[in-house]
Structure 1
C-alpha cells in the first residue's frame, strides 16, 4: 500500500488516468464475461467439458454490445503506444530501441504462462494422460493468447502507422474500415477465409483511433493551426457533442447491420452462427466500437474527476500492475477449479438458464476469484516488477533484423497454437512449433534488452 501511495503521489499531471481506468475495466469485463458464460457439463466419456452459454441465452446477445470490450483495449493500446513512442523519441531514442523496450512487459508474463503449461502438460503425459485430452485442457487455458497475437502485430507496426497518422490522420482508420467491409463482403458471398485479413485491418483501425485520442489530449506536439480539418485531422473530436454523435451513429449502424442486415446480434462467438463478429472483426464490431468510443467520451470528465482522488487511482494502479497476468491466467483458474471440484465429486452441472444455473453463478465467480488471486500472487510479480530499460538503440541494421525476428517468432508461435485443433495429440499440450518459435523469438528479444548485441 505504501508503494502504491508513493506511485500515486508521483503520477505526473500529463498522465491520462482515464486510459488506465479503461484498460483495467476492459480486462475485468473480459474475465467476468468468460466466467459468467462458461457452461460446464460432461461428455459421453464422463469427462468435464465446457462451452459458451450464449447459444442458450439469445436475450443476452445485445448485452455483448457493451460486454465485448476488446475494442476498448486496442483503443487504449493505441493511446499508450503513441504516448510511449513520442516520449521515447523525445529522449533521443529510435523506433528499434522502443520496440526492444516495449517487448518486456508483454513477453515476460506470457513466457511464464507457456512454460508452466508445457511443464504441466508434460507431467500429465508422464502420468499416463491421453495427449489429446492434455491438449484440450491446455487449449482452453490458452484461449486468451489469440488476443496477444493481434496486439503483438500492432506494436511493431506502431512506428510506421503513427507516422502515417501524423500525415493523413483519420483517413487511415476510415480506409481500414473500408477494407474490413470488403473482407466481410467476401465471406458473406463466399468462403469465410476471404475475411482473414480483417484480423489485421479491424484491430488496426481501432488502434489508429488511439493515436488520434492521444493527439487530442494535447500531449503530442502538433503545431498550432497545423491540424487539418475534416477526415485528415490528426486529433479525435472529444467533446460531449462528439461523444453523443458517435454513440448514436454506432448504435444506429449496429441495429441496421444486425437486426436488419446479415450480421449476428452477438459481438461474441455464438455456436452455429455462420458469421462471427470477432473472429475476424466485422463491420458490425467496428460499429459497436464506435458506440463504445462515444460512451467513453461522454463519461470522460466525471471519470477524470473521480480519478483525482487517491483511493480510486491507487486501485487502478494496482490492477494495471498485474493486468496482463490477470488476463493470461483467468481461464487457467477455470481449469483448476473444474479439476478440483470434479476430483472431489462435487462439480455442479445445472442446465443453462435454469434457476439452479443462475444460483450457481455467485459461488462460481467467488471461487474463481479466489483461485485467480492465488495465481496472480504467484505470477503477478513477474509483470509488476518488469522494468523499462530506457536504453536507446544505435539503430544499426542488425538491431532491426533481430527485433523483427524476435517479434515474428513470438507472434508466429502464439498463432500456431491458436490454429492447432484443440483435440490434436500434443504430448505437452502445446504444439512443438509453438514452443520453438515462441522461445526463440522471446530469447532474441531478451538478449537485445540485456544489451548483449552491444558487448565487446
Structure 2
C-alpha cells in the first residue's frame, strides 16, 4: 500500500488517469464476462469441456454491445502509444528504440505463460496423457492470445500510422471503416477471403481514434501556443470530446447498431455465437465498429465525473494496482478456469447444471469467487514479471542493422502466437503448442531481450526518466 501511495503521489498532472481506468475496467470486464458465460459439461468420454452460454441465452445478446470491450482497449492503446511515442521522441529516441521498449511489457508476461503451459504439457505427456487432449486444454488456456496478436501488430505500425494521422487526421479511420465495409460485402456475397483484411483494418480504425483522443488532450509539440487549437490541421486531428459530441456518437452508434442487426445481416451479439452466419469480432465487422462508436460516446459522456473521482487517492491507487498486472490478469484468467475445473472434476464435485436453470444461475457467484481466488494466486506468482518490467529512456540509434534485427525479433512472437491461434484445438501437440510456433516465439523474444540490453546500439540506454509519461 505504501508503494501504491507513493506512485499515486508522484503521478504527473499531465497523466490521463481516465485512460488508465478504462484499460483496467476493460480487462476486468473481459475476465468476468468470460467466466460468467462459460458452461462446463462433460464430453462423451467423460472429460470436462466448456463452451459459451450465449447460444442458449439470446435475450442477453444486446448486453454484448457494452460487454464487448475490446474496442475500448484498442482506443486506450492508441492513446497510450501516441503518448509514449511522443515522449520517447522528445528525449531523442527513434521508432526502433521505442518498439524495443514498448514490446517489453507485452512480451515478458506472455513468455511466462507459454513456457509454463509448455512445461505442464510436457509433464502431462510423460504421464501418458493423449497429445490431443493436452492440446485441447492448452488451446482453451491460450484463447486470450488471439487478441494479443492483433495488438502486437498495432504497436510497430503506430509510428507510421501516427505520422499519417498528423497529416490527414480523422480521414484515416473513415477510410479504414470503408475497407471494413468492403470486407463485410465479401463475407456476405463473396469472396469470403476479402474480409481477411478486417482483422487489421477494424482494430486499426479504433486504434487511430486513440491518436485523435490523445491530440485532443495534449498540446502538439509541432504546433505550440494557445492559438494552435484554431488551426484547421490540428482541428481535423482532434477527437471532439464535448458532452454534445459524446451524445451524438452514442446516438449514431446505437441507431447504426439497431439498423445493422435488426434490418441488416449482422448478428445482434458482439461476441461469437455458434450457429450464427457472421461473427462480428472474427474478423471485426461494421456492426462492431458501430458498437465501438456508441462506446466512445459513452466514454466521452462519463469522462468529467470519472476524472473528478480519479483525483481521489483511493480510486487512483486501485487503478494503478490493476494496471501494474493488467496483462497478467488477462493472460492467466482462462488458465485459472482450467485449473479450477480440473481440481473440481478430480474431486468429483464439478457442478454441471443446465444453462439458464436456477442451479446454473446460483452457481455463478461461487464460481466467480472461486475463479477469483485461483487467479489471485496466479497473479501473485507471475504478476511481478510484468510489474517489475523496466522501461528505459531513449537510447542512441543503431542504424539499419539494428532496425532489421528488431524487425526479425518482433516477428518471432507475432508469428508464433498467430501460428498457435490458427492451429486447431484437436491437433496432436505434445507440448500443447505447435513446437515450431513456440520456437519462433522464444527465439524472437530472446533477440528482443538482447537488443533491450543495449546490444546492437550505438550508445547505452539511459536510466528510466519517468515511466508514467508513456502510459
When normalised by structure 1's length, the TM-score is: 0.98
Q: 1:59 to 1:136 in 2, by over 3 A?
A: same
Question: Equivalents in 2 of 1:34, 1:295: separation in Å?
Answer: 23
Match of 1:360 in 2: 363
Q: 1:346 aligns with which of 338, 344, 349?
A: 349
Q: Which residue matches 1:20?
A: 20
The aligned counterpart of 2:89 is 89
Q: Distance in 1 between matches of 2:349 and 2:192?
A: 41
Q: Equivalent residues in 2 for 1:58-73 (5 A)? A: 58-73=58-73
1:392 aligns with 2:421: no
Q: How many pairs does the alignment contain? A: 456
Could you tell me which residue of structure 2 aligns to residue 335 of structure 1? 338
| SS of aligned partner of 2:456 | helix
Distance 1:227 1:342 in 2: 64
Distance change in 2, residues 1:227/1:442 (3 Å): farther
Equivalent residue, structure 2, for 1:122: 122
The answer to whether the Cα contact below 8 Å between 1:94 and 1:395 also exists between their aligned partners in 2 is: no
Aligned residues of 1:227 and 1:235 also touching (Cα < 8 A): no
Tell me, in whole angstroms, the C-alpha distance in 2 between the residues paired with 1:84 and 1:219: 14
Deviation per CA, 1:252-298: give whole Å up to 9, x if none: 00000001100000000000111000000000000000000000000
Counterpart residue number, 2:465: none
Q: Given the alignment of the two structures, is residue 258 of structure 1 paired with residue 261 of structure 2, yes or no?
A: yes
Of 233-242 and 216-225, more deviation after overlay is shown by 216-225
Residues 244, 184 of structure 1: CA spacing in aligned structure 2 closer, same or farther, 3 A cutoff?
A: same
Does the residue aligned with 1:387 lie in a helix, a strand or coil? coil
**Alpha-carbon distance in 1 for matches of 2:311, 2:402:** 41
Matched, 1:218 2:221: no
In structure 1, the partner of 2:329 is 326
- Which residue matches 1:135? 135
- State the match for 1:417 in structure 2: 420
C-alpha displacement of 1:232: 7.4
Is 2:210 the partner of 1:201? no
Does structure 1 conserve the Cα–Cα contact (< 8 Å) formed by 2:402 and 2:457?
no
User: What SS does the aligned partner of 1:49 have?
Assistant: strand
Residues 250 and 287 in structure 1, CA contact (< 8 A), matched pair in contact too: yes
Pick from 315, 319, 322 the counterpart of residue 316 of structure 1: 319
* Partner secondary structure for residue 167 of structure 2: helix
How far does the alpha carbon of each residue in 1:92-137 deviate from its partner, in whole angstroms, 9 at most, with x for none? 1111110111111000000000000000000000000000000000
Could you report, residue by residue, the CA deviation over 1:50-70 in whole angstroms, capped at 9, with x for unpaired residues? Answer: 000000000000000000000
Residues 424-456 of structure 1 show CA distances to partners (whole Å, capped at 9, x for unaligned) of 000100001211110111111101001122489
Q: Is the 8 A contact 2:92 2:394 kept in 1?
A: no
Cα distance in 1 between the residues matched to 2:412 and 2:367: 37
Shift of 1:372: 0.1
Alignment CA distance shift 1:337-1:221 (3 Å)? same
Instruction: State the match for 1:175 in structure 2.
Output: 175
Q: Distance in 1 between matches of 2:104 and 2:181?
A: 35
Is the 1:171–1:231 Cα contact (8 Å) retained in structure 2? Answer: no
Provide Cα deviations, 1:292-346, integer angstroms capped at 9, x if missing partner.
0000000000000000000000000000000000000000000000000000000
The 5-angstrom pairing of residues 153-168 of structure 1 reads 153-168=153-168
Helix, strand or coil for the counterpart of 2:39? strand
Cα shift readout 1:70-110 (whole Å, capped 9, x = no counterpart): 00000000000000000000011111110111111000000
Contact 2:228–2:234 at 8 Å: present in 1 too? no
1:378: which partner in 2? Answer: 381
What secondary structure, in the 3-state scheme, does the structure 2 residue paired with 1:265 have? Answer: coil
Q: Residues 109 and 379 of structure 1 are in contact (CA less than 8 Å); yes or no, is this contact kept in structure 2?
A: yes
Asked if structure 2 preserves the Cα contact closer than 8 Å seen for 1:131 and 1:429, the reply is yes
Query: 1:165-201: CA deviations, max 9, x gaps?
Result: 0000000000000000000000100253321110000
* Pairs within 5 Å for 1:141-152: 141-152=141-152
The answer to whether the aligner puts 1:295 opposite 2:298 as a matched pair is: yes
Note the C-alpha offset of 1:408: 1.1
Corresponding residue for 1:30? 30
SS at match of 1:452: coil
Q: Deviations over 1:134-174 (max 9, x none)?
A: 00000000000001100000000000000000000000000
1:228 Cα deviation after fit:
5.5
- What is the CA distance between 1:222 and its match in structure 2? 5.2
Report the TM-score, using the length of structure 2 for normalisation. Answer: 0.95
User: Partners of 2:117 and 2:9 in 1: how far apart?
Assistant: 38
Say whether the 8 Å CA contact 1:170–1:231 is kept in structure 2. Answer: no
**Is structure 2 residue 211 aligned with structure 1 residue 188?**
no
